[in-house]
Amino acid sequence: SQQGEEDPQALSIQEGENATMNCSYKTSINNLQWYRQNSGRGLVHLILIRSNEREKHSGRLRVTLDTSKKSSSLLITASRAADTASYFCATGRGSNYKLTFGKGTLLTVNP
């Protein structure tokens, strides 16, 4: 069953704008991860945030986690055409539980 659900399903913005994607989940988690997938390619890990963390940064990426609302957001600042991809959240309930992936947000950055 799907644990994470991304919102929106698709997002189209202009180059230079910020892009925000959200992920909601149902059960308590150990960590939440964001992955990126270019069309027809494998997934690439972007960032992992643990349940005791509220915010993490990596370059132009900012991830927040609100465990009380069971939600996370991924912010990409100053987007570029090369950021066009699908973005997935994956939740980990614990070391012995497999990751559960959402259905993804398709981000299109128009030049």
38: three-class secondary structure by DSSP:
coil
Binding region for other proteins (CB under 8 A): 1-2, 30-31, 33, 35, 40-45, 48, 88, 92-99, 101-104
Least distance in angstroms from the C-beta of 43 to other proteins: 4
Name which of 54 and 103 has its Cβ closer to other proteins: 103
Closer to other proteins at the Cβ: 16 or 94? 94
- Altogether, the residues listed in the chain come to a count of 111
Q: What are phi and psi of 81, to 5 degrees?
A: -55, -35
The CB-of-81 to other proteins minimum distance in angstroms stands at 21
CB 99 within 8 A of CB 2: no
1 or 52, CB closer to other proteins?
Answer: 1
Report the C-alpha gap between 92 and 107 in whole angstroms. 24
